[in-house]
Chain A
Amino acid sequence: MTEPDIALRRCFQATFPELPAEAIETASVDTVEAWDSLRMVTLMSVLEEELDVQIPPEDLPELRSFAAVREYLTQKGRLS
């Protein structure tokens, strides 16, 4: 696992401390009750700070799961 991948997981863990580590990769808006708009904004801010990426507000609606976030960051060149 690369350092950015580890950082991505760390961001999710910090934003959703109630989420067990093994559930992070399958986490989504539909499976995590605490994943509301406030947590979404927090997650995006943490990702921006940790991975040095800008996430425009208009991109947020598509980032509804760990997988979607990972794919988005890969396209932005932040993950391998």
Chain B
Amino acid sequence: MKLIEALQIVGRPTPDDAVELEVSLVCGCTPLHLETFLTAELRERHPQARVHLSSGLFDDLIGNLDRADQSSADAVAVVVEWADIDPRLGLRRAGGWRMGDLTDIVDLSEVYLAQLGSALTRIAQSKPVICCLPTLALPPLFPQRPDQSGAQELQLHNNVASLAAELGKQASIRICSAQVLDELSPLLARRDVPMELSTGFPYSLTHASALARQLAVLIGNPVPLKGLITDLDDTLWAGTLGEVGVENVTWDLDSRSQRHALYQQFLASLASTGTLLAVASKNDAGVVAQAFKRADLLLSKDAMFPVVVHWGPKSSSVRHILETWNIGPEAVALVDDSQTEIAEVQSRFPDIQGLRFPTDDAELWSLLRRLRGLFGKSTATVEDALRAASVRSASEFREFTQGSKSPSDDFLARAEGTVEFSSSPAHKLRAFDLLNKTNQFNLNGDRIGEAAFNDAVRGPGTELITASYQDRYGPLGTIVALLVRPDGTALAIDAWVMSCRAFSRRIEYHCLQYLFERFDATEIVVHYRSTDRNGPVSEFLEAVLAAAPSNGPVRITAECFHERAPGLVHHVLEAEQ
């Protein structure tokens, strides 16, 4: 992005009903163009938001961190340069580059970085932190020739890398990728020496733009796609199965088809972090089944569900897969070597991401990078590992109930289900995930930012309750999140979501029953609002109230609930705090 473009974006009016997005930009240098670029990038990514960027005092990074900690910012973006770690590593102070100074610089860097790490960890308790560690080249203060990295230079880099590794373990801290920044912004073109000396802003415009882009991506933390549908011939493997046979499709170096092996390996990686995988292939189902028995396949067949193989239009396969997964096309990518097939699918599902599997090795890198960009997530949860199995079990459950929304008491009893409620903060990450991704069983469709969620969870009187479920068909993991507030003899539910995989098991009824008993409430007030997609909530409330719910507070008395609730047959547990 050019500076003039950023200024024009920043100057655009914001919608009257814009949601506020407050970001603290913490750096030791003058924020200058970085602030402009970051504001512009955030405006582009959040067109419905009014973006407020606050920065602190020049040359006081630690102080600025304290100020950010006290602020009401939704996120804190921290940009650390070498000069913040020690002024002698910058150009605005001439503090000495003698051999004796170098030892002192390295030793003191450990102290500063420890202080920085503590401050960032403290802030991350309440707000997401996006941290960019030094991006500029070190000045030539070390005695070695520039082509050689001496021990002290390496120790400095090691100290920073050690801090980054520790911070990166924390769910609420996102470290900017140095590798991506290297790709976007060549090292030698990052520094503007005249600008640094005259204003205290050290970055070239191109580097400031690249840095701002990366910060904005991590501040926004876009929701990853949920599922990937893959073709088989010349995609998962090289060759056409029906022509060359099971043993002659390849994915190895000797056959010059290693890119297919890397693709299989990548899909296995996605599956291990909870991405749903499915196959849509025009092929003979029997031959495909034989191919999946090959022991050298790098991707387990169990990781792919469903596997849809027939000679009909690929869009009908995709429709079946979306119905099985119960997710929308906007959450899915299709990888196929045929642009024609991708176009056919997108003619029925315009929101699906279509990516062409490359015909030569040179393009593989960008495909895998693009896929990681679409599916990458900051952290993986226990539910991610369960997801594929739970989708399969949910599908089997639907088959047994023949898709009925109201399976019989007898059937549910035979499912031997257990619902376990918990108020443990251990499920906070999963709860946040559910609150921001669930559409169908979502009380009001409200999304909540990380900082606001942390405030709500820690606030007096509000409690986060989650529920997990398992039955004879398998575990679903944590599938319910509620934010509740006791209010005298009543209980308010401000947020309530349930994963669509948990439908038709009356878990929502169990939730209300649990809440009535746990809080000894005579009435529960749910803050309901109708959205395009929360029909299941409307239907549920209508069943409980014997009337369609209106937007706003909906009161459910204990008497009314007990009168209208169906049989609740699951075993209910309450986890220890």
Chain A residues at the B interface, C-beta cutoff of 8 Å: 10-11, 14-15, 17, 38, 41-42, 45-46, 49-50, 56-57
B 186-205 binary contact with A (CB < 8 Å = 1; else 0): 00000000110111010001
Q: What CA separation (Å) do A49 and B33 show in the bound complex?
A: 13
Please tell me which stretch of B2-10, B424-432, B435-443, B565-573 contacts chain A, meaning at least 4 of its Cβ atoms lie within 8 angstroms of it.
Answer: B2-10
Pairwise interchain contact B198-A17, C-beta atoms closer than 8 A:
no
Contacts of B32 in A (CB 8 A): 38, 41-42
- Is B11 engaged at the interface, CB distance under 8 Å to the other chain? yes
Chain B residues at the A interface, C-beta cutoff of 8 Å: 2-4, 7-8, 11, 32-33, 36, 194-195, 197-199, 201, 205
Pairwise interchain contact B4-A10, C-beta atoms closer than 8 A:
yes
Which chain A residue has the least Cβ–Cβ distance from B201?
Answer: A41
Pairwise interchain contact B198-A14, C-beta atoms closer than 8 A:
no
Contacts of B197 in A (CB 8 A): 57
Contacts of B33 in A (CB 8 A): 42, 45
Q: What CA separation (Å) do A14 and B10 show in the bound complex?
A: 9
Pairwise interchain contact A14-B199, C-beta atoms closer than 8 A:
no
With A14-B8, A14-B11, A38-B32 as known contacts, state yes or no: A45 contacts B194, CB within 8 Å.
Answer: no
Pairwise interchain contact B7-A49, C-beta atoms closer than 8 A:
no
Contacts of B36 in A (CB 8 A): 42
Pairwise interchain contact A49-B11, C-beta atoms closer than 8 A:
no
Interface residue from A38, A46, A57 paired with B194 (Cβ < 8 Å): A57
Say how far B152's CB is from chain A's closest CB, in angstroms.
33
Pairwise interchain contact A41-B199, C-beta atoms closer than 8 A:
yes
Which chain A residue has the least Cβ–Cβ distance from B205?
Answer: A49
Interface residue from A14, A56, A57 paired with B4 (Cβ < 8 Å): A14
Q: What CA separation (Å) do A17 and B39 show in the bound complex?
A: 15
Say how far B388's CB is from chain A's closest CB, in angstroms.
49
Say how far A29's CB is from chain B's closest CB, in angstroms.
17
Q: What CA separation (Å) do A14 and B7 show in the bound complex?
A: 6
Pairwise interchain contact A49-B199, C-beta atoms closer than 8 A:
no
Q: What CA separation (Å) do A4 and B3 show in the bound complex?
A: 17
Contacts of A56 in B (CB 8 A): 194
Interface residue from B8, B11, B205 paired with A45 (Cβ < 8 Å): B205
With A41-B199, A45-B33 as known contacts, state yes or no: A17 contacts B194, CB within 8 Å.
Answer: no
13 A-B pairs with CB atoms under 8 Å apart are A11-B4, A14-B4, A14-B7, A14-B8, A17-B11, A45-B195, A46-B3, A46-B7, A49-B3, A50-B2, A57-B194, A57-B197, A57-B198
Say how far A25's CB is from chain B's closest CB, in angstroms.
19
Interface residue from B4, B194, B195, B201 paired with A50 (Cβ < 8 Å): B4
A15-B7, A41-B201, A46-B4 given. 17 additional CB < 8 A pairs?
A: A11-B4, A14-B4, A14-B11, A17-B11, A41-B32, A41-B195, A42-B7, A42-B32, A42-B36, A45-B195, A46-B3, A46-B7, A49-B4, A49-B205, A56-B194, A57-B194, A57-B197
Contacts of B205 in A (CB 8 A): 45, 49
Pairwise interchain contact B7-A17, C-beta atoms closer than 8 A:
yes
Contacts of A50 in B (CB 8 A): 2, 4
Say how far B454's CB is from chain A's closest CB, in angstroms.
34
Q: What CA separation (Å) do A38 and B2 show in the bound complex?
A: 18
Q: What CA separation (Å) do A17 and B36 show in the bound complex?
A: 13
Q: What CA separation (Å) do A15 and B201 show in the bound complex?
A: 18
With A17-B7, A42-B33 as known contacts, state yes or no: A49 contacts B194, CB within 8 Å.
Answer: no
Which chain B residue has the least Cβ–Cβ distance from A56?
Answer: B194
Closest 8 CB pairs of A and B: A17-B11, A14-B7, A57-B198, A14-B4, A46-B4, A46-B3, A14-B8, A49-B3
Q: What CA separation (Å) do A11 and B8 show in the bound complex?
A: 10
Which chain A residue has the least Cβ–Cβ distance from B32?
Answer: A41
Say how far B196's CB is from chain A's closest CB, in angstroms.
11
Say how far B105's CB is from chain A's closest CB, in angstroms.
28
